[in-house]
Amino acid sequence: MQGRHSLGACTKLFAVSPEAIIQLRDKSGRTFSREVHAEGADRHAPDLFAPGMLALETRLLREVGRCSADYQLIEPGDRVMLALSGGKDSYTLLHLLRSLQRRAPFDFDVLAVHVDQGQPGYEGEALERYLRQEGYDYRIIREDTYSIVIDKVAEGKTYCALCSRLRRGILYSAARDLGCNKLALGHHRQDAIETLLLNMTFSGALSAMPPRLEPEGDNPVVIRPLYYVDERQIAHFAELMRFPILPCNLCGSQSGLMRKRVRTVLDDLMTLSPNALNSLGASLANVRPSHLADPALHRDAASDKVQDAASQALDA
Ligand code: SF4
């Protein structure tokens, strides 16, 4: 085992059933602790000793912490409901939020909520087993939105817009019922950039998805703690953690999905410049309204100038 990883040997085994915590030391002498689970033959078994595992987790945690600090995503006393789809992103976010919970200098709660939407072939046992075995606080909500989507969406059109709107409604209502003031979604940097490109291309709007969306009415604040994170790192982490991923193509052929096609455009841009992803991501937080063409912004700027001039005249 030792030859496979950059960590030193396991130095200690000091906690007991059902979880044990091993203490590891890296080459520079720094120590880390990791949980391992002794029970459950079918338990997912993360590759704790994979090269770079700890560095990757630390990096992801740092990005989540930085994003949280920049946009006040997680605050003292929050009760955060995490929408767990069963994909790599939401599993990773759940794991990171729990790690953050243990490190944060303040208390907050995390509750995982998974919606079984009645998709054909859905098999959620592995997901529920994982949540139970890992000791997460969780709820599974079963609502057959699939039948509604099939009924309402015209043939040849994709289901996702209606499906995700219905799911969001269920999540909002669950958050209210369960007393959660924040709803955490697993969107990452590529998701935000793709949304920007989609909105520009198909809606004529310069808008993306924000890391924090203030609520309407009594809905929870929507937060996206993975906003700064590159999807490729999440994919790698999820692979090492061996999360029991639910297949994401449950609703049959969705070959017309525009998001998929925009993804190839983004891939092309990343081939053009290795820094394209960072640069596009940074552009979302570096808006120069004066260099855009929204008439309302220009009117506002002009009226601000008039007001400034008027107050200067009054002060003189
Ligand atoms: S991929 Fe399937 S489950 Fe996901 S939003 Fe689209 S229709 Fe819904």
Q: How many angstroms separate the CA atoms of 241 and 99, rounded? A: 14
CA of 158 to the centre of ligand 1 (A): 9
For the ranges 40-44, 99-103, 121-125, 188-192, the lowest mean pLDDT is seen at 40-44
Q: Calculate the CA 290 to chain-centre distance.
A: 31
Determine the topology of domain 51-283 in CATH.
Rossmann fold (3.40.50)
Q: Is the pLDDT of residue 5 over 50?
A: no
Q: Is the pLDDT of residue 18 over 50?
A: no
CA of 98 to the centre of ligand 1 (A): 27
Amino acid identity at 173: S
User: Is 146 near ligand 1, meaning CB less than 6 Å away?
Assistant: no
Within 10 angstroms of residue 209's Cβ, the number of other Cβ atoms is 18
List the beta bridge partners of residue 20: 36
Contacts of 307 (CB under 8 A, 6+ apart): none
* pLDDT, the chain, mean: 86
> What are the residue ranges spanned by the domains of the chain?
1-39, 51-283
Pocket test for ligand 1, best of 119, 150, 159, 168 (most atoms within 8 A of CB): 159
User: Is 83 near ligand 1, meaning CB less than 6 Å away?
Assistant: no
Q: Report pLDDT for 101.
A: 95
229 within 8 A of 63, measured Cβ to Cβ: yes
For the stretch 71-83, pLDDT in tens is: 999 999 999 999 9
User: Is 159 near ligand 1, meaning CB less than 6 Å away?
Assistant: yes
pLDDT-derived band at 305, boundaries 50, 70, 90: confident
User: Is 251 near ligand 1, meaning CB less than 6 Å away?
Assistant: yes
pTM, rounded to two decimals: 0.83
Q: How many angstroms separate the CA atoms of 65 and 101, rounded? A: 11
Q: Is the pLDDT of residue 184 over 50?
A: yes
Q: Is the pLDDT of residue 282 over 50?
A: yes
47 within 8 A of 57, measured Cβ to Cβ: no
Q: How many angstroms separate the CA atoms of 232 and 190, rounded? A: 9
CA of 163 to the centre of ligand 1 (A): 6
Measured between alpha carbons, how far is residue 268 from residues 261, 282, 313 in Å? 11, 18, 54
